[in-house]
A and B are shown apart, each in its own frame.
Chain A
């Protein structure tokens, strides 16, 4: 070991570190651009006028005369507001009903003692393995036979239970010390008051996570609504977009289409930007895609 050699090693290490961090950021920026570009493009196209969009053989990457006309068209030429309202109702009602079902079931599994608890719980768990694709066929037939096609009820009913969320919440409930329950019993608190006043407040983070995940799922759901509705009055945004793509705006009005896409994407993106840490932590804990 000598000083000159060490100097060389020091400099080499320095250069390598610089190069590494340069390449690192290059990759990160590249992927960020790939992610953001479609969003940029949809906003950009949505503020171009119909004529300027179609006259650009080579599309311009910016526009000097932005217009909001396309947004007006999006709301007037197709019942976008109606799709929105449907999706909103669907999301709120489904999430609300599911929370009730899930909370009570989780409470029963976590805190109450009853005969056959273990068997019922393992049966529940085994249902987690069943893919939606397998049961959707019969559900379609069931809903059709019940004459519930093109109704909110038909849209909502099949998705108000989730074994996975019951499981997630049950685990969380079980972490609440048993002593609290005993103390509440001694004080003469009823089971449901205890659930409402103690367990739900303590488990709020998990409940919020589940709500967020369910809202995202509802807002983006496509397959079931597509099967169960063919009346535009009951379309959700996903089906609305598909309808717009195939029949709306005289097919080629891309700026108006993009305006509709922007409008549909905004609520969740805003929700995400506000609660992003919560959402990301929630998805990391219990989310899946596809």
Chain B
């Protein structure tokens, strides 16, 4: 089932009653989520991504705009009629029911012609439990399980009624680092196995990048960019997206375009042939892996330290044009660095350098 959002807007009255102006949690969303894909809604906390999720599942009503499931307008449909499964951040497992009863709960709600027999229910519960691999835990209560296990139960409960759309609110944020890695692979596997259109909300870019088919980046209620993970990483439309994706963060310098060259400070670092005549103040953003240690390189930086990570090495350096604390460059560990007078010189890989307008912070294509 594809999901289409048309001019979707949600405004809340400001919590601070003195301010009359409404808070716009979701501002004019227009996009289409293709059938059978795994979509990550990514943004910093408070950007409206959870509101967007609540709008899709129907727990909240949009102020303006429409939501379509397939070709059907579901904007005003109550959540129970939308056929969605939702996994809550804290799982919302009923503490007084066993795992089996929790998973069976949605099935028992079916009435009339959809009513299921006990045997069919049990079969479906087992099937869902098998899918998330918790068959042996069926008789436990939520309080007797680890966070990861509870998470699986929550997913099984959301999937057991075969929803057309599966929604997950920060599915991994309550798990420890090791479990997070394991669970996100699991999520991907379950999504592939079931083929259900899945939307999940997260503030962790790594999480979004690693499993999403498509990422939607949001900031203060406004959609910034939508695309495949690699595409968003490589071709961010603005400085915010560029900075939000990737660890370590992209390195941002003050710079300018002049005489067909891109300058960081006063050093020309790469050519910009289309900008022969005009002069422009810009931000030059370089991915950590975009630096090459080069004795003859144009970018000269103060050397501070190196951090050995095994597979590769982080070079920590400074430059007067750099915005923020220190430059972090990642180079393969077999490359050697010989700082001369505490100075290290870099040349840049052009396809790892992105230029943004200083005023609008929008991407400038060279």
Q: Do chains A and B touch in the complex (CB under 8 A)?
A: yes
Residues of A at the B interface (CB closer than 8 Å) are 1-3, 6, 9-10, 13
- 19 A-B contacts, Cβ less than 8 Å apart? A1-B69, A1-B70, A1-B72, A1-B83, A2-B72, A3-B72, A3-B73, A6-B72, A6-B73, A6-B74, A6-B77, A6-B81, A9-B77, A9-B78, A9-B81, A10-B76, A10-B77, A13-B78, A13-B81
Give B46-69 as 1s and 0s: 1 = Cβ < 8 Å from A's Cβ atoms: 000000000000000000000001
The 10 closest A-B pairs by CB, nearest first: A10-B76, A13-B78, A1-B72, A9-B81, A6-B77, A3-B72, A10-B77, A3-B73, A6-B72, A9-B77
| B164 and chain A: residue at smallest CB distance | A1
In chain A, what residue has the closest Cβ to B80? A13
Minimal Cβ-Cβ distance residue in A for B70? A1
CA distance A10 to B70 in the complex (A): 18
Which residues of B sit under 8 angstroms from A1, Cβ to Cβ?
69-70, 72, 83
Chain B residues closer than 8 Å to A9, beta-carbon distance: 77-78, 81
Q: Please report the C-alpha to C-alpha distance between residue A1 and residue B78 in the assembled complex, in whole angstroms.
A: 14
Q: What residues of A have a CB within 8 angstroms of the CB of B77 in the complex?
A: 6, 9-10
Interface string of B170-210 (1 = CB under 8 A from A): 00000000000000000000000000000000000000000
Give the dominant DSSP class at A's interface.
helix
CB neighbours (8 Å) of A2 from chain B are 72
Residues of chain A contacted by B72 (CB below 8 angstroms):
1-3, 6
CB distance from B281 to the nearest CB of A (A): 52
Chain B: how many interface residues by the 8 Å CB criterion?
10
How long is the Cα–Cα vector from A10 to B69 in the complex, in angstroms?
A: 15
Other A-B contacts than A6-B73, A6-B81, A9-B77, 17 sampled, CB-CB below 8 A, are: A1-B69, A1-B70, A1-B72, A1-B83, A2-B72, A3-B72, A3-B73, A6-B72, A6-B74, A6-B77, A9-B78, A9-B81, A10-B76, A10-B77, A10-B78, A13-B78, A13-B81
Contacts of B76 in A (CB 8 A): 10
Contacts of B73 in A (CB 8 A): 3, 6
Q: Interface residues, chain B, CB within 8 Å of chain A?
A: 69-70, 72-74, 76-78, 81, 83
- Complex: how many Å from CA A223 to CA B102? 52
Determine the chain A residues whose CB is within 8 A of the CB of B81 once the complex forms: 6, 9, 13
CA of A3 to CA of B71, assembled, Å: 9
Bound complex: CA of A119 vs CA of B76, how far in Å? 64
Least CB distance from B79 to A in Å reads 10
Chain A nearest CB from B75 CB (Å) reads: 9
A9 and B83 alpha carbons, distance in the complex (Å): 13
| B78: chain A residues within 8 A (beta carbon) | 9-10, 13
Complex interface: chain B residues within 8 A of A3 (CB): 72-73
Query: Chain B residues near A6 (CB, 8 Å)?
Result: 72-74, 77, 81
Nearest Cβ on chain B to A245's Cβ, whole angstroms: 50
CB distance from A217 to the nearest CB of B (A): 36
Complex CA gap A130/B81 in Å reads 55
Q: How far is the CA of A3 from the CA of B76 in the complex (A)?
A: 11
- A6 and B77 CA atoms in complex are apart in Å by 7
Residues of B within 8 A of A13 (CB): 78, 81
What residues of A have a CB within 8 angstroms of the CB of B69 in the complex?
A: 1
How far apart are B257's CB and chain A's nearest CB, in angstroms?
Answer: 52
Once the chains are docked, how many angstroms separate the CA of A2 from the CA of B74?
10
Beta-carbon nearest neighbor of B77 in chain A? A6
Q: How many angstroms between the C-alpha atoms of A2 and B72 in the bound complex?
A: 6
Residue of B nearest to A6 (CB): B77
Which residue of the partner chain B has the closest CB to A9? B81
Per the bound structure, the CA–CA distance linking A1 and B73 in Å amounts to 10
Complex alpha-carbon distance, A218 and B81, angstroms: 56
A3–B78 CA distance with the chains assembled, in angstroms: 14
